Amino acid sequence: MLFASEVLCLQQLSSELPRLWLEIGVGTGQFAGALGVDIGVDPASSVLQYAKWRGIQALRAQGQALPFEDREFGAVFVIMTLCFAEDAGGLLREAVRVTRVEGGIVLGIVPAGSPWGKSYAAKGRAGHMFYSEARFFTLEEVRNLAEDVGLRFDRSVSTLFGSPDEGTFEIERPRQGEARSAGFVAMLFRPRSRPAGNTTTSAREDQDSETPRSLICMKENLEIDPDNPRCPYPSSQCRFREWCPVREAMRSKRRKTRE
């Protein structure tokens, strides 16, 4: 019931966002499958097969170093992932980089000060295998992180108003805005338009211009030379032929050559 309430909350913000959709920290693809996300990335290879079984185009990648071109996605989802990120700001910078100006970034947050946030944090202090690695943010901290990377807040929706100690839960109707007692808040942010004449650069290029962007073959999870992108499979043998970062890089290189 908790998951169903969270999905309803996220759907309030995602229904009008343009395609393609990407989830950073896709895990087993539970949220991505329910929301209809197209592509998901996660650094843990052990969970990606489950996401693929749910119909998600899943590949191994760090959220702070996405193997995608600038402005490839209409929507990027970061659902209960920010609290596990080693560099939350870096992850959001990459999300901004790959999101089109007319698109949006949807964050799913368990607020630090909420009853659910306090409950999960307590489990972490007790040695819980997942929550011991989490660092929960307040909504104000999330807004500040988003603003620092060039996002503007659009709107939010809240759910999970019951106490985590209740034991039984019903599907809850989402409420507009950020309720203090809510255990889950979905926040929609929009990229700010870049000034005319500016060229787009990746977050990693800003941080280290000598580090080339990696490319991953989605069929076999193979790393491809970004300076010489070549797909190792004929299109007829690859079920990701409609969209793949390697094929996208190949098309981009051909366009630049013609120009």
Domain range annotation of the chain:
2-191, 214-258
pLDDT for res 252: 66
What is the DSSP pairing of strand 151-159 with strand 175-176? antiparallel
Q: For the packed helices 88-98 and 139-148, what is the interaxial angle rounded to 10 degrees?
A: 50
The radius of gyration of the chain's CA atoms, rounded to the nearest angstrom, is 19
Collect all residues with Cβ–Cβ distance below 8 Å to 100 and sequence separation of at least 6.
Answer: 18, 71, 72, 73, 74, 191
Give CA torsion, residues 102, 103, 109, 114, to 10 deg.
30
Beta bridge partners of 190: 152
- To the question of pTM greater than 0.85 for the whole model, the response is no
Residue with tokens 């010489």: 228
pLDDT for res 35: 95
pLDDT for res 210: 34
Residue 99 CB neighbour total at 10 angstroms? 24
Instruction: Report DSSP state, residue 239.
Output: T
Q: Where are the alpha helices (DSSP H) in 104-195?
A: 115-125, 139-148
pLDDT for res 238: 56
- 2-191 belongs to which homologous superfamily? Vaccinia Virus protein VP39 (3.40.50.150)
Q: Single out the residue of 153, 157, 211, 159 nearest to residue 181, CA to CA.
A: 159
- Could you tell me the mean pLDDT of each successive run of 10 residues in the chain, 259 residues long? 90 93 95 95 90 92 92 96 92 96 96 90 87 90 94 94 76 88 94 52 40 49 64 56 58 64
Q: How far is CA 222 from CA 204, 213, 217, 245, in A?
A: 20, 14, 5, 12
* Residue 190, amino acid: R
